[in-house]
Structure 1
Amino acid sequence: MSLPAPDILTPSQLNTLARDLLESSFPAIWVEAELGSVARPASGHLYFTLKDARAQLRAAMFRMKAQALRFVPREGMRVLVRGRVTLYDARGEYQMVLEHMEEAGEGALRRAFEELRARLQAEGLFDETRKRALPAHVQRLAVITSPTGAAVRDVLSVLARRFPLLEVELLPTLVQGASAAAQITRLLQAADASGRYDVILLTRGGGSLEDLWAFNDEALARAIAASLTPVVSAVGHETDFSLSDFAADLRAPTPSVAAELLVPDQQDLVRRLRRDAARLVQLQRHALGQAMQQADRLLLRLNALSPQARLQALRQRHAELGRRLHAASQQQQQHRQARLRHAAAVLRGHHPQRQLDALGQRLQAVGNRPLAAVQRQLQREQLRLRGLARSMEAVSPLATVARGYSIVTRQDDGVLVRSVGDVKPGDALQAQVSDGVIDLLAR
């Protein structure tokens, strides 16, 4: 029985297998070591060795990560790095490719800081909703800082320049060292409990993370969050952050900026006061003008309501009505005179004498023709009247009565009795005969 032939690999294939094995077996790891053989070629990458007393390891940090470093790596510097283990094929050597590098001492503090910050933030200690607003005008300020540091000089100088009326009380304390955090916490709690201050300022100058470590104390951060008095934190330089900055109601990048944020500039206040004073004078003048106008209107109304004013008004109205009445009377008189003149002219045109004269002239003009025409007309009318009289006599009932007949009517309604059925017993009747009326009674 023959054995199967073993796999035959090339060096590159073997390196690939080794690299895959290293990268899968070692995720990103932290290594604390000393730097050696530091090189930075023109490409911007960093190459060096990580070593201790018994071994060394090649490492590389590519340009994008290297540019983010906050310090310059030097040979002999002790550092804390994070990266992945891999294999460099060209030399067949394993190495670390770094993602992060920091100085070893500060790195431990930084990790502790990040862990504590994350825990307190998860508790809601840094939430913006619980932060208190600073008063619009700070009258008394407590400054907790070192009495000999540059920070207190900067703060007091800015406050004196911007707003000398502010009452400032310096509460001296250590700002670094083992006992500094506890001392700062006690002073903060005492200042808050006193109720004397409108704002409490925690401040100190810049320094390393270790120098600022007192302001990363958990007890201090909780005391700041629990303070009833608003707290302003101005610790270190603008790029420095501490837990007191996150817990405070306001974080200032430097002590001088904190002083500027706490008080207004007196020059701005003077300009504002002058502007407000001018505005107040303008408003007063406007209000005074309106009041005077209203007073004048009220005086006019008062004068209008006085008996003398009413009497004067009535006199004026009486005089005006008199003038209007006189004018109306004159106008009516002129109108009547015009009508009279017109009527006189009309009457003169229709005077009887003038008509008689006109008729006389017409009579003279026509002579006796009208009289003859009238006589002929009278004769014709007489003949027509006689014919009518004869016709009426022929049909008149009186002629019939004259021949011996009578006309019987009911007395109560004058109805002509034509038949015995037109009367009933007891009716009063009248009989018209040729020479009078006879009263009858029906039976």
Structure 2
Amino acid sequence: MTHVNAPQQHILQVSELTKKVRFILESELRTLWLCGEISNFIAASSGHWYLSLKDSKAQVRCAMFKGNNRYTRIRPQNGQQVLVKAKVSLYEPRGDFQLIIEQMEDAGDGLLRQKFELLKNQLQAEGLFDQRYKQPLPDFVKTVGIVTSSTGAAVQDILTVLKRRNPSIEVIIYPTLVQGDAASELISDAIYDANERDECDVLIVGRGGGSLEDLWAFNEEPVVRAIFDCDIPVISAVGHEVDTALADYVADMRAPTPSAAAELVSDDNQHLLTKIQHYRQKLVHLINHKLQRSSAHQQLLNHKLALTSPEQQLRGQQQKADDLHARLLQSLNVQQSQLQTSIAMLQQRLMAASPKQKIHLAHSKLDDFQGRLVRGLLQCKDNKQQQLARVAQNLNIVSPLATIARGYSITRDSNGRIIRSLEQVAINQTVTTQIADGQIESVVTNKQYKATAD
């Protein structure tokens, strides 16, 4: 029987397989949007939701954990069409393929929400929402323009607030549809009309609350661009506080409700009266302060006028002239005394610096220098003579001539070198011997070495 050797392979455990499959699903598919019908919905006691999404051909298990489902606006029901944002995953313990839902909306609202985000990102990239384009609201508003439905609750709320807070504000309504297919074009036309007429200080654009579909006109691009192009400061007041429209992002200011927008543009009458009273008190204080300063200035001018009268000035000039005359006399006396002292000092310096005196002093110094020079020369001569005698005496002591004079002689070879050894001469060599009274030339005929003891 023949055995076939299979190639060596790593054998997976089931848990390893499910882990690898889960990793592949989560890393490859990541986040996706999915539309389907809810079935088998279960709201667990833990707060998590478990359900299936299906269409006519397939279904997939889903889980939405309580950290995400608490932000969902709808309450899921079996048979409901929804749009979900989810991650593909695998429940490892059972090997079940499933979706982890992060966001869920009604299918109709969900598609609108996607369209909302897409247009928002586009307009934001163009810079329409940049803070640098925002205009400040005027401090005092005389005329308010309102772009909304003339029969809706929003305009009534705005008028009620304005009448209660500041009935002096004039209101101009630019009526338009705020819901339906044609609403966005009509709203943008009304905004352009208000901007062209330029008859209001601030413009409120908005409507009352409703569903996302009801408010959709304020998410349309024509409305957003009309608000951006408007030279009049625009307040967006669309729906309720929880509602957000693209008009809110592009407007110069967002109000949570139409009533809140009316409050932003109107000061309360009591508040105005309080401000007027405050300004009145401040004005009175400033006037009183100005009067006090003017009175003090007038007194100062009167005092200066009294000081600058011709008679007063003449007396002052006379006194000043007398003082200057006395100071001049004193200065002249001081200068005269100083001049006399300087003359005496110069005379003394002139006598001290007389040429005759300098010549006499120079002669005296010259005679002294001559005497000191002669004495120095004689002394130097004596010293040199004594020094010469000592050197001659020392030289005579070590001189060879003195040695010769005592009976000694010096023998030299033909080159004048002193002969100190028999090795320096040869037989028949001529040598010269110096004695006290002359020289003797001789020829060497014999050399006899000194006998040495054995």
State the TM-score, normalizing by the size of structure 2: 0.63
Rounded Cα–Cα distance in structure 2 between residues aligned with 1:173 and 1:22: 51
Corresponding residue number in structure 2 for 1:228: 231
Corresponding residue number in structure 2 for 1:49: 52
Question: Residues 172 and 200 of structure 2 are in contact (CA less than 8 Å); yes or no, is this contact kept in structure 1?
Answer: no
Q: Partner of 2:83: helix, strand, or coil? A: strand
Question: What letter matches 2:251 in structure 1?
Answer: A
TM-aligned CA deviation for residue 298 of structure 1: 4.2
Rounded Cα–Cα distance in structure 2 between residues aligned with 1:75 and 1:139: 56
For 1:26-425, what aligned pairs fall within 5 Å after superposition? 26-299=29-302
TM-aligned CA deviation for residue 17 of structure 1: 4.6
Rounded Cα–Cα distance in structure 2 between residues aligned with 1:110 and 1:92: 34
TM-aligned CA deviation for residue 182 of structure 1: 0.4
Question: What letter matches 1:204 in structure 2?
Answer: R
TM-aligned CA deviation for residue 305 of structure 1: 6.8
Moved more, 20-29 or 36-45: 20-29
Corresponding residue number in structure 1 for 2:4: 3
Q: Partner of 2:79: helix, strand, or coil? A: coil
Rounded Cα–Cα distance in structure 1 between residues aligned with 2:262 and 2:39: 46
Moved more, 176-185 or 19-28: 19-28
Q: Partner of 1:49: helix, strand, or coil? A: strand
TM-aligned CA deviation for residue 296 of structure 1: 4.2
- Which runs of 5 or more structure 2 residues have no equivalent in the other structure? 316-454
TM-aligned CA deviation for residue 226 of structure 1: 1.1
Question: What letter matches 2:147 in structure 1?
Answer: I
Deviations 1:53-92 (A, max 9, x none): 3432211112212223233222222111122333323333
Corresponding residue number in structure 2 for 1:332: none
Rounded Cα–Cα distance in structure 1 between residues aligned with 2:304 and 2:57: 111
Change (3 A) 1:118 1:24: closer
Deviations 1:100-145 (A, max 9, x none): 2222111111111111111111111111112222222121111011
State the TM-score, normalizing by the size of structure 1: 0.65
TM-aligned CA deviation for residue 15 of structure 1: 3.6
Q: Partner of 1:200: helix, strand, or coil? A: strand
Q: Partner of 1:233: helix, strand, or coil? A: strand
Rounded Cα–Cα distance in structure 1 between residues aligned with 2:23 and 2:44: 28
Question: Residues 148 and 206 of structure 2 are in contact (CA less than 8 Å); yes or no, is this contact kept in structure 1?
Answer: yes
Question: Residues 205 and 238 of structure 2 are in contact (CA less than 8 Å); yes or no, is this contact kept in structure 1?
Answer: yes
Deviations 1:1-47 (A, max 9, x none): 64345876554444445444544553322211111222122211111
Q: Partner of 1:203: helix, strand, or coil? A: strand
Rounded Cα–Cα distance in structure 2 between residues aligned with 1:226 and 1:97: 43
Q: Partner of 1:57: helix, strand, or coil? A: strand
Q: Partner of 2:167: helix, strand, or coil? A: coil
Q: Partner of 2:155: helix, strand, or coil? A: helix
Change (3 A) 1:88 1:293: closer
Change (3 A) 1:95 1:303: closer
TM-aligned CA deviation for residue 303 of structure 1: 6.3
Rounded Cα–Cα distance in structure 2 between residues aligned with 1:185 and 1:56: 44
Change (3 A) 1:133 1:17: closer
Moved more, 274-283 or 210-219: 274-283
Q: Partner of 2:140: helix, strand, or coil? A: coil
Question: What letter matches 1:111 in structure 2?
Answer: Q
Question: Residues 116 and 219 of structure 2 are in contact (CA less than 8 Å); yes or no, is this contact kept in structure 1?
Answer: yes
Rounded Cα–Cα distance in structure 1 between residues aligned with 2:60 and 2:161: 53
Rounded Cα–Cα distance in structure 1 between residues aligned with 2:24 and 2:297: 98
TM-aligned CA deviation for residue 154 of structure 1: 1.5
Corresponding residue number in structure 2 for 1:327: none
Q: Partner of 1:283: helix, strand, or coil? A: helix
Corresponding residue number in structure 2 for 1:439: none
Rounded Cα–Cα distance in structure 2 between residues aligned with 1:18 and 1:132: 55
Rounded Cα–Cα distance in structure 1 between residues aligned with 2:68 and 2:221: 32
Question: Residues 146 and 172 of structure 2 are in contact (CA less than 8 Å); yes or no, is this contact kept in structure 1?
Answer: yes
Question: What letter matches 1:270 in structure 2?
Answer: L
Question: What letter matches 2:107 in structure 1?
Answer: A
Change (3 A) 1:89 1:297: closer
Rounded Cα–Cα distance in structure 2 between residues aligned with 1:304 and 1:17: 108
Q: Partner of 1:155: helix, strand, or coil? A: helix
Q: Partner of 2:73: helix, strand, or coil? A: coil
Rounded Cα–Cα distance in structure 1 between residues aligned with 2:4 and 2:111: 56
Moved more, 48-57 or 6-15: 6-15
Change (3 A) 1:194 1:248: same
Cα root mean square deviation, aligned: 2.6
Rounded Cα–Cα distance in structure 2 between residues aligned with 1:304 and 1:21: 104
TM-aligned CA deviation for residue 291 of structure 1: 2.7
Q: Partner of 1:193: helix, strand, or coil? A: helix
Rounded Cα–Cα distance in structure 1 between residues aligned with 2:141 and 2:172: 13
Change (3 A) 1:302 1:35: same
Rounded Cα–Cα distance in structure 1 between residues aligned with 2:64 and 2:234: 42
